[in-house]
Structure 1
Amino acid sequence: MADYEWLLFDLDGTLSDPAEGFINSMNHALEFHEFAPRPARELTPHIGPPLEDSMAHLSGSSNQVLIRSMVDKYRERYGETGYAENALYPGITEMLEHLSRNDSIRLGVCTSKRADFASRILKQFNLHHYFEFVSGGDVGITKGQQLAQLLAESRISTQALMVGDRHFDLSAAHTNGLHAAGVLWGYGSRQELEAHKPAYLFSDPSEISAQF
């Protein structure tokens, strides 16, 4: 087992399930811009990627003004009510409590979600105190760029493991020379995650506790 100084967690699909708030807020943005609402099965695959990529796909448009307006309308509803329509995955609190007792490991959050929304969700579930920082994304910023900035600012070391449920999390880590772990309770399939060669593939939060 490699020695890691940092465990960096994705939020959506890794620590909590954002599906209800995500679906409601996406359809709010679509309908406001005169697109038909989409069923859950068409929207949940978009949990994880940057919002602007999802909006471009769902609208079929490359118009950056439209895409930005859709992102803003999504965030308007999400900031009012969507963030609270969130469910904590079973075993997450126990896993974080276990990790917090390991003095050789430090914890952070690296999410494509805007940092203020991510912090609200963590506080909603009383998880915020487990993490030294919350790195959030914004339009035009990839998770790989977020990790690169954290490294450049020496907020994390190269002895970091990125933990997430989608291939974006794993590829962002690998781009920056970091190891990555996949979790199977979120929105990425085993096939998707295995294709990006995770150092670990966890099927339950208790397996992270057992590993570290």
Structure 2
Amino acid sequence: MSTDFKLACVLFDLDGTLVDTAPDLIASLNKALAEHGFSTVAPEAIRPFISYGGGAMVRESVGADTDQETQAAVLKTMLDCYQTNIAEHTVFFSGMVETLGIIEALGLKWGVVTNKRKRFTEPLMEALQLTARAACIVSGDTTANSKPHPEPMLEACRQAGVQPQECVFIGDAVHDIAAGKNARMKTLAALYGYLKPGDMPETWGADALIESPEQIPTWIESFTCR
């Protein structure tokens, strides 16, 4: 890795990287499935699909052969339920609170770039008391394109007042790493997140693989404490 890299901002994917939203998302999904006459799903079966959005969660739960109209109805019920229960059981991943504190203590900026829609991202960040702390918050509908396109990454830089080459992006899905690389950022793959069976993060091209949030400060300090 280049020794002239100067880190100014740490960017996080939201679901599966910064916070564990699985309990609330899966509870909302199961409520929707039951209301529409489908069997509920075990959390461990659907958790790996969270990073790919509510549509993917519904499709995996009802079967891809279920008609689109029915899938859309289940999805709407799920999202409406989720919006009114945005942070009932959502928690920070172990070590993330301390990691954010270290980032701030080092004088670095941090922010969020997610494919989650603004209607969910903003109330969730507010509920977690993160809005005022984040240098940027970019949702899936903030820009015309979402990850893996570089546009949301560049919007995050604009909001935070930094350059892409001064950033690291941390995410738990292949499209996260691709987005960061497409914007010429450093990237870290969060192995503790919502990986799918068959995912091979070692092939995604990330600069490092992170097994827990506690490893993030060690990586950061290798560039800031020289």
SS in structure 2 of the partner of residue 128 of structure 1: coil
| TM-score, structure 2 normalization | 0.78
| TM-score, structure 1 normalization | 0.83
Q: Post-superposition shift, 1:141?
A: 5.6
Percentage identity across paired residues of the two chains: 22
The corresponding residue for 1:76 is: 80
Cα gap change, 1:116 to 1:4, in 2 (>3 Å)? farther
The corresponding residue for 1:210 is: 218
Q: Post-superposition shift, 1:122?
A: 2.9
Aligned mates of 2:8, 2:92 — CA distance in 1: 25
Following superposition of structure 1 onto structure 2, how do residues 51-70 of structure 1 map, counting pairs within 5 Å? 51-59=54-62, 60-61=64-65, 64-70=68-74
Following superposition of structure 1 onto structure 2, how do residues 3-82 of structure 1 map, counting pairs within 5 Å? 3-59=6-62, 60-61=64-65, 64-82=68-86
The corresponding residue for 2:151 is: 148
Contact 1:83/1:117 (8 A) holds in 2: no
Report the aligned-residue RMSD.
2.8
Following superposition of structure 1 onto structure 2, how do residues 142-181 of structure 1 map, counting pairs within 5 Å? 142-145=146-149, 147-151=150-154, 154-155=158-159, 157-159=163-165, 160-181=167-188
Cα gap change, 1:152 to 1:97, in 2 (>3 Å)? closer
Pick which of 148-157 and 16-25 moved more: 148-157
Aligned mates of 1:141, 1:92 — CA distance in 2: 28
Cα gap change, 1:149 to 1:136, in 2 (>3 Å)? closer
Deviations 1:41-78 (A, max 9, x none): 22111121122233334331485544443332111111
Matched, 1:188 2:195: yes
Matched, 1:88 2:92: yes
SS in structure 2 of the partner of residue 163 of structure 1: strand
Unaligned runs of 5+ residues in structure 2 are: 221-226
Q: Post-superposition shift, 1:30?
A: 2.2
Contact 1:162/1:173 (8 A) holds in 2: yes
Unaligned runs of 5+ residues in structure 1 are: none
Q: Post-superposition shift, 1:33?
A: 3.0
Cα gap change, 1:199 to 1:62, in 2 (>3 Å)? farther
Cα gap change, 1:200 to 1:152, in 2 (>3 Å)? same
Cα gap change, 1:152 to 1:15, in 2 (>3 Å)? closer
Aligned mates of 2:69, 2:199 — CA distance in 1: 35
Contact 2:153/2:179 (8 A) holds in 1: no
Contact 1:183/1:204 (8 A) holds in 2: yes
Aligned mates of 2:104, 2:193 — CA distance in 1: 22
Cα gap change, 1:4 to 1:196, in 2 (>3 Å)? same
